[in-house]
Amino acid sequence: MRPLGYFLIVGGALFLIWLWLSAAHAHAVMCGPRGKIVESLSGKYSESVAGRGVSDQQQTLVELYVSPAGSWSLLVSRPQASCIIGTGENWERVKPPSQGEKIRW
């Protein structure tokens, strides 16, 4: 599978997670300056960036922050502000699928 295909699968999965989290935990959204949020994720939760992507129009940056203990936060940044749109526990890092390998849900 090409890197773009892998990115689209991961991006789609993150988007579905975001939809679920936004419906179930709409009160948990936290917004502010990106630098302060990233500093808080690092200082309070020991989370560091595990992956990022930019929207087609180059207006939105989506980043996933993960800690060694398994906590995670999904941060969406626009020029005006950044917002944590989802958080959770038990993040598991997995190796990317090899070329031709099918992803099982």
Q: Where are the domains of the chain?
A: 3-88
Beta bridge mates, 30:
84
Give which of 96, 88, 94, 7 is closest to 53, Cα–Cα: 7
pLDDT for the residue numbered 16: 63
Q: What percent of the chain has pLDDT over 70?
A: 71
What average pLDDT score do residues 58-84 get? 92
> Is 3-88 in CATH node 3.30.160?
yes
Q: What is the C-alpha to C-alpha distance for residues 91 and 103, in angstroms, rounded to an integer?
A: 18
- pLDDT tens string 6-38: 556 666 666 666 665 554 444 456 899 999 999
